[in-house]
A and B are shown apart, each in its own frame.
Chain A
Amino acid sequence: MDGAGGSARESLFELEGVRFRYAEADALNGVCLPIYPGQRLALVGANGSGKSTLLRILDALLFPSSGSIRFRGQALTEERFADDDFAYSFRKQVGFVFQNSDAQLFCPTAFEEVAFGLLQLQRPQAEVAHRVHHALESLDIGHLAHRPPHRLSGGEKKKVALASVLVLEPDVLLLDEPTAGLDPRSQTQLIEILDGWKDPAKTIVTATHDLHMLEDLAETCAVLEQGRLIASAPPAQILEDRGLLERANLIHAHRHSRAPHSHSHLGLHRDGS
């Protein structure tokens, strides 16, 4: 399997031989990946496969140890981000929803949380207030506006975190394990929200190991294993390839010894289980 499709198009992100090393180990090892405008891409892999690191590199929160990453043809390097204009322009276009909502909600109320990004981008106060109200209402969380983060449930926190990014109206949305820790109803709501964000110009990159939600979240999957990209194809094709999923540690042999006839089969990993 190769190619994410649409190779004739100009890519939005272009990763070439990206390596990233933490103190102890390689998190990414020579990742080459084009991401196209309007694409819905899922980065799939077991825990520690490098998904979150890759998302952080896409958001220019980390920079490759070697290799290169380009966004709309421009190299993303620490030097480029020393320039305020470039940094603001990039941050306006790319939004990142973190896996840990508690890390993302650091303001005293949900309203101020959603306003934070717009204020840092120095939008006029009246515009900020208007857009924050609109973002909260569109996610149906207007009633949470003045509530502090520690008074929100897990699902509410995730929605506020999403609103705090969607309010910036980014062209690219990066989501790190968006459904992790959410109850089924909240998961469905989240998928509906993302469906409502469908726009040919909007790109969504989701890191997940929840294979059950894959077809709802993406039209292309990139499978990572120990920092390497081992496949890229539509979700249905990936899900059918049991050998690939087993190799990527996304499914495992599951044994039922109490059944009348003991047998084993492949089971899906859900939420790291």
Chain B
Amino acid sequence: MTSAAFASKHRPGGFLEHNLGHLLEGLEAVSRAEAISDTSGLLQRLSPRSKIISTLLLVAGVVASTSIPALWIALAGALVLALASRVQTQMLLRLTWGSVLVFTGAVMLPSLVMTPGPVIARIPVVGWQVTATGFHIFLLLLTRAEASATFLVLLVLTTLWPRLLAAMQALKVPAVVVALFSTTFRYLILLLETSVEMFQSRRSRMVGPLTPAAQRRLLAATAGTLLDKTAALSQEVHSAMQSRGFRGRVYLLKQETASWHEVMPILVSLAAAAGLVLAH
């Protein structure tokens, strides 16, 4: 059952249902991202190595750009790439644009009225003045954040996690960092699955709503149990690693050397980044 179906079928606002819905949503997001990474789209066909470098170049270009129209063009370009890579606009809207708008917007909102400059509007009731400079800065930073986040999300959504890790390693990211990312992702999923099972087993033995105090107790007990399980599992994983020769230093498979066809996306991204920086 999908988390949406689950939410519609069960009592809204129920504590367990609420948490369970979120956990299932997390697992679904992982599945959806893997499904997108595994389809044949434009970005999926590119090598992860060149995608990482290209993304970093584009993000650098976006961050350094002072031209709002150029940033809008970059954002439109990202949208075209998303569509060519079978990433749904709705997904981008939910994963990136909405949350960036909320968080960056909230942080930057005071700049609308606190930056000196010509007044272009007045907020009713409180009478605060919105300045043209403040609005420009607000829009510039918001567009930068949206465009950067979109490029990064596209990288993650169109690259299978193991291939992304392999590419990081090929780009000389230290093996211990790659191993840390790898195990973190692996055990996050495992803990998500464990949490879902714990909440489901609790739900199967409950009738009626929980009082706020009981909800707090349940949450604390769940967190404590998960912490215990995590500690036991980490001990077990360490033993399993030791048993196969791990002595504190990680050795990973070497990745293939770079080929020329990987350079083209990097050159295109470099040109785009330069255009963003030079645009006025």
Contact = CB atoms under 8 A, between A and B. Distances in A.
Contact of B162 (A84, A148, A164): A148
A56 B252 contact: no
B253 A148 contact: no
Interface of A: 56, 59, 61, 84, 87-88, 91-92, 95-96, 98, 100, 102-109, 112, 115-117, 119-122, 125, 128-129, 146, 148-151, 164-165, 168
Interface in B7-37: 30, 34
Contact of A108 (B182, B239, B243, B245): B182
A37 B30 CA distance: 47
User: Which 7 A/B pairs are nearest by Cβ-Cβ distance?
Assistant: A117-B244, A120-B245, A103-B236, A108-B162, A119-B251, A91-B245, A96-B243
21 contacts: A61-B243, A98-B239, A100-B233, A102-B233, A103-B233, A103-B237, A103-B239, A106-B237, A108-B186, A112-B253, A116-B241, A117-B244, A119-B251, A120-B241, A120-B246, A122-B251, A146-B162, A148-B34, A164-B244, A165-B244, A168-B244
B186 to A, nearest CB: 6
Contacts of A112: 162, 252-253
Contact of B189 (A88, A115, A150): A150
Given A108-B162, A109-B162, A116-B244, 9 more contacts: A59-B243, A98-B243, A103-B233, A116-B246, A120-B244, A148-B34, A148-B186, A150-B193, A165-B244
A116 B242 CA distance: 11
Contacts of A88: 245, 247
B52 to A, nearest CB: 16
Contacts of A109: 162
B186 A103 contact: no
Contacts of A148: 34, 161-162, 186
A106 B244 contact: no
Nearest to B188: A150
B183 interface: yes
Secondary structure call for the B interface: helix
Contacts of B242: 61
B240 A98 contact: yes
B190 to A, nearest CB: 6
Nearest to B30: A150
B254 interface: yes
Q: Which of A100, A102, A122 has the most chain B CB atoms inside 10 A of its CB?
A: A102
A150 B186 contact: yes
A88 to B, nearest CB: 6
A119 B240 contact: no
A149 B244 contact: no
B185 interface: yes
B165 interface: yes
Contacts of A128: 253
Contacts of B185: 108
Contacts of A168: 244-245
A91 B185 CA distance: 27
A206 B99 CA distance: 52
Interface in B37-64: none
Given A59-B243, A109-B162, A164-B244, A120 B190 contact: no
A108 B161 contact: yes
Contacts of A56: 239
Contact of A61 (B30, B190, B239, B253): B239
A217 B182 CA distance: 35
